[in-house]
Structure 1
Amino acid sequence: MERPSAEKSIIALGPWLDTPAGSYVRAWQQARLDMLTADIFGFNAMQIGLPQVNALQANRMPNKWLTDTYVPLDNGEGGRTPIVVVHDFAELPFASQSLDLVVLPHVLEFAAEPHQVLREAERVLRPEGQLIIVGFNPASLWGLRQLAGRLTGAHFLPPEGEFIGVPRLKDWLKLLNMEVSRGHFGCYAPPCVTEKWLTRFAFMEGAGNRWWPYLGAIYIVHAIKRVRGMRLIGPVWAKKTAAAPQGVPATNRIQKHEHQ
């Protein structure tokens, strides 16, 4: 059966990550994902798609799953986490409110129905569950290169991918009662195809973080599922009240007055 073009494009993104530019992106993503997921606690975590990125390697939850739309021939080889569930991104085979963490690395921009993928991610997350989204930033040099590639036919990334801006993504998350906790931008070097030129522009990482922090080629958005009308309650501590001074019974006062 022929796969849809959007599914083919995210599959094509996997080999691209082995190119010099892809390795540059993958190294930055891995470092930030390790930092973000290391302190997220719970029982069940899931990474959807793109097995070339091990988004959950630093997380310490007892149950971690990697899912995709198909099982590759080298599943689990080369030190990569094996795919344990195969499914359509728009229909997650997990019960509602069953997961503590969901990671979407470059899934939305290559999904045929990105809104539906987000709705499914929100559905399977428990209240206060956390969602991490990785994407290419259209407001960057890489975004301009992708746009130019559509006009000239010289594509830098798989052509079916549609870059989703952070403001637009925040609007989608807000409609789902997902509160954005933090965001990270990185990969400020121009879209070079050789390691030599990427190395020459390495100085732009520090400069970009300082002078144009929202123009990085890659972003990571971290959101938390909020449930209206729900408030987490901590442990109830017994509070000792100060004992009121005991007064003299009225009968005793009356008797004392009578004896005088």
Structure 2
Amino acid sequence: MDSATSEKSIIALDSWLQTPAGAYVRAWEQQLLDELTADIFGFNALQIGTPQIDALAASRMPHRWLAETRAQGGAAPAGRAVTLTFDAGELPFASQSLDLVVLPHVLEFAAEPHQVLREVERVLIPEGQLIICGFNPASLWGLRQVTARVTGAHYLPEAGEFISMPRIKDWLKLLNMGVSHSHFGCYAPACRTEPWLARYAFMDRAGTRWWPYFGAVYLVQAIKRVKGMRLIGPAWSKKSAKAPVAVPAANKHREGTDSERQETIASQ
């Protein structure tokens, strides 16, 4: 995917997120992101792209930034300030400076998704966390997108390269990023109107139980692992056994002196 195609696809995603199906996806992702980010602690958090979703709304970190790629200029909704605009493949942050990075639908519309992940791994501190949102190609929506190559009736933005969760996990593993949580959601068929999406609301409850891996969207949470480092628990977690009390050197000397005196008396 070249930069021109990437720009067009991002603009198409911005428009799609305003549709009833887009609102359906945003609602599910917003709720889950609020639950996850509220329990991630640190100082510096960054959201890249998709400003229609406030991925850091529930974060407790004191420093939170919303950044857009250059192709997304001016896409932020009213009331949200864009802090930075840059190329997602070259993040303007020092190495090991961020505690949390969120990528909502960035990799599938990026010209070089591998480079984006490499940059994210670089700027995360050890044990820093990454959250990725994406469309699931192994879903009813993904099937609709495949058939659209023949019919021309695309449901999702046409130029997006939708990446499966197993593939995302493989990429993360190569970067020493360990997946801690994964979630699927939005099980309704590819409907375009709100009434029809509402009719299939029961599928969200059934899908979570009966076909959990076929949700239209997924969320992956990963932690940056550094070889040779591990968290150490409190020193008082385990009480050490009492060591035997050593005899002071002065006592040993006294014992030797007493025995010598006894031998001298006996010899007399």
- Provide TM-score, normalisation by structure 2: 0.88
1:73 to partner: Cα distance: 4.5
1:230 to partner: Cα distance: 2.1
**Aligned pairs (5 A) from 1:1-260:** 4-70=4-70, 72-73=73-74, 75=76, 77=78, 79=79, 81-234=80-233, 236=235, 241-242=242-243, 244=245, 246=247, 249=252, 250-251=255-256, 253-254=258-259, 257=262
CA contact (8 A) 1:46 1:99 kept: yes
**Percent of pairs identical after alignment?**
65
SS at match of 1:30: helix
Q: Which amino acid aligns with 2:256?
A: T
1:236 to partner: Cα distance: 5.0
Q: RMSD in angstroms over aligned alpha carbons?
A: 2.2
CA displacement, residues 171-198 of structure 1 (integer Å, 9 cap, x when unaligned): 1111111111110000000010011111
Separation in 1, partners of 2:159, 2:118: 22
Q: Which amino acid aligns with 2:245?
A: A
1:7 to partner: Cα distance: 1.9
SS at match of 1:189: coil
What is the count of residue pairs matched by the alignment? 256
CA contact (8 A) 1:100 1:130 kept: yes
1:243 to partner: Cα distance: 5.9
- Provide TM-score, normalisation by structure 1: 0.91
1:15 to partner: Cα distance: 2.2
Separation in 2, partners of 1:210, 1:34: 22
SS at match of 1:139: coil
SS at match of 1:46: strand
| More helix per residue | 2
CA displacement, residues 65-86 of structure 1 (integer Å, 9 cap, x when unaligned): 1111247557562x3x311100
Which has the higher Rg, Structure 1 or Structure 2?
A: 2
SS at match of 1:214: helix
CA displacement, residues 193-246 of structure 1 (integer Å, 9 cap, x when unaligned): 011111110001111010000000010000111111223345556979556164
Q: Which runs of 5+ in 2 are unaligned?
A: none
Q: Which runs of 5+ in 1 are unaligned?
A: none
